[in-house]
A and B are shown apart, each in its own frame.
Chain A
Amino acid sequence: MSEQNKSIGALAALCAVIWVLAAIHPVDRHAWILENLLLVLFVFALSLTHRRLQLSNASYLFIALFIILHTIGAHYTYAKMPIGLWTKDFLGFSRNHADRVAHFGFGFFLAFPVRDLLLRFSGIRHGWSFWLPPAIILAISGFFEILESIVAEIVAPGKGVEWLGGQGDQWDAQNDMLSALLGSLIMMAAVLLTNGKRKAR
């Protein structure tokens, strides 16, 4: 086993342990299954492609961080996540913003591996590698909102945004997408700054 495979194995094991712990008595089993559907598909796709499209260790670390974040969110269901409830009470928000943090985390953590993927395999020039990942993150985020609306119509027809994800926010989809976009832009800015420093040295 190569050095990289060892560290990927360790990350996968860590994620698996947290996932199993979170799978025990989740707050809402139905919501948990729904939230985990996409996660399972994502991990399945990663494991299928990882030989052909191998990413850097840093990329896998960011992916693992996002998986852990989502695993915890799925355990509590985002609307009932304790940290979100505390901040809601503390800062006087009208809703639990944990899901928005997760959308932000989606953009922030996954923009890095997306950029890595593009630089390694797509052939794009360096300069383009900073704004294409935010575009891809935003596209996936939009696609996710479309899926969410279809699921909402199937599970709770007519209830619309009142159901789960929306928590009654009429502009929930737009605000979620904006969070993801901001997360990805901040990550790209961070990469740009650290790259610049490395060059200056």
Chain B
Amino acid sequence: MKQPHARFIDNSFLQIALACYVLFWIALAIHPIDRSDWFLENLLVFVTASVLIPTYLKFQLSNLSYALILLFLAFHAIGAHYTYAKVPAGFWLMDLLHLKRNHYDRVIHFAFGFLLLYPMRELFQRSARAHETWAVWLAAATIAALSSFFEILEGIIAQVVRPDLGAAYLGTQGDIWDAQKDMTAAFLGAILTAVLLSLRQHIRH
């Protein structure tokens, strides 16, 4: 893998990508549909930023990895602005495919696996020094683990903070298998990227 730019000041690609994301984020931070839900959803952004920014000094991912992460966060910003159950794109999809619910959240769970497998694999290969084939599997497992962890958090929030509302609270939209379907979506996204990466490898050789 190509060695990324060591200094942010020399990396114009990353500067532009980050600027685009920040502008997009600010635009969507204005008058969100539900401010407290917006805040809850954005905890993910704050956590991600507080991990990626300090670690940048010691270890940089490639520009492609950062771009994929920012792209994912941009999709997430849309969900946070409208609240996931009311994203317009999800309603279009609902009408187009005659679905019973707004599936934007499931698309984002899929995108989580699809977009973040690559940066995760890069992290395992370059920082953890895992062998190439192991790195892909470890990345897929980590995606699935993070997805499960997110569902656990969602469960804890719903049980502890709003036990009266139970499954109706936030993400599930009344589906008893919501957690399982969300995890499946993330896992399939990760597997798809893993397959695409190995196909690229085959074509190159």
Contacts and interface: CB of A to CB of B under 8 A. Distances in A.
Interface of A: 118, 121-125, 128, 132, 134-143, 145-146, 148-149, 153, 160-161, 170-171, 173-175, 177-178, 181
Given A132-B138, A138-B149, A174-B155, A145 B129 contact: no
A158 to B, nearest CB: 10
Contacts of A142: 144-145, 147-148, 151, 183, 187
B85 to A, nearest CB: 19
Contact of B183 (A123, A145, A175): A145
Given A124-B128, A142-B151, A177-B151, A170 B142 contact: no
A170 B176 CA distance: 8
Contacts of B55: none
A128 B141 CA distance: 14
A122 B141 contact: no
Given A123-B131, A124-B124, A124-B129, A136 B145 contact: yes
A138 B180 contact: no
Contact of A160 (B148, B177, B179): B177
A146 B183 contact: yes
A131 to B, nearest CB: 10
Contacts of B144: 138-139, 142-143
Contacts of A118: 134
A174 B187 contact: no
B130 interface: yes
A135 B141 contact: yes
How many interface residues does chain B have, given as a range?
Answer: 20 to 34
- Kindly name the residue among A122, A135, A137, A139 whose own CB sees the greatest number of chain B CB atoms within 10 A: A139
Contacts of A136: 138, 141, 145
A177 B148 contact: yes
Nearest to B142: A135
- The secondary structure that dominates the B interface is helix
Interface in B167-199: 167, 176-177, 179-180, 183-184, 187
Given A142-B145, A145-B148, 9 more contacts: A123-B134, A124-B134, A124-B138, A132-B128, A135-B141, A139-B143, A141-B148, A161-B176, A170-B166
Contacts of A174: 151-152, 154-156, 179
A170 to B, nearest CB: 6
Contacts of B148: 138-139, 141-142, 145, 177
A111 B187 CA distance: 21
A146 B180 contact: yes
A125 B179 contact: no
Contacts of B128: 124-125, 128, 132
A138 B146 CA distance: 8
A122 B147 CA distance: 23
B153 to A, nearest CB: 9
A134 B138 CA distance: 12
B159 interface: yes
Contacts of B151: 142, 173-174, 177
A145 B179 contact: yes
A132 B145 CA distance: 10
19 contacts: A122-B138, A123-B129, A132-B138, A135-B142, A135-B145, A136-B138, A136-B145, A138-B148, A139-B141, A139-B143, A142-B148, A145-B148, A145-B179, A145-B183, A146-B184, A174-B152, A174-B154, A174-B179, A175-B155
